[in-house]
Amino acid sequence: MDTINVNANLRDKVGKGSARFARKNGLVPGVIYGNKEKALPISLSAKEWEILIQKPGIYGQLINLLVNNEKYFVLPRDIQFHPVSEKTIHIDFLRVTDKSTVNVGIVVEFINEEKCPGLKLGGVLNVVRSQVELLCPATAIPEKLVVDLEGLNVGDTIHISSISLPENCTPTITDRDFTVATIASPRGGMDEADEEEETVSEEESADDKDEKSEENKESE
- Dihedrals φ, ψ of 182, to 5°? -140, 160
Reported as half-sphere exposure (CB side, CA atoms, 13 A), residue 102 has a value of 29
Domain ranges in the chain with CATH number 2.170.120.20: 102-201
Q: How far is CA 100 from CA 34, 124, 150, in A?
A: 11, 39, 36
Domain 4-96: top CATH class: mainly beta
Q: Is 57 left (phi over 0), alpha (psi -120 to 50) or beta?
A: left
Q: Is 200 left (phi over 0), alpha (psi -120 to 50) or beta?
A: alpha
CATH 2.170.120.20 fits 102-201, yes or no: yes
Q: What is the pLDDT of residue 84?
A: 94
Q: What is the pLDDT of residue 191?
A: 46
Domain ranges in the chain with CATH number 2.40.240.10: 4-96
Q: What is the pLDDT of residue 190?
A: 43
Q: What is the pLDDT of residue 211?
A: 47
Q: What is the pLDDT of residue 173?
A: 96
Which stretches within the chain are classed as H helix?
16-24, 46-52, 117-120, 191-203
Q: 90: closest CA among 130, 25, 44?
A: 44
- Which mean pLDDT values do the consecutive 10-residue runs of the chain (220 residues) have? 88 84 92 92 94 86 92 94 93 93 93 96 96 93 94 96 94 96 77 52 49 50
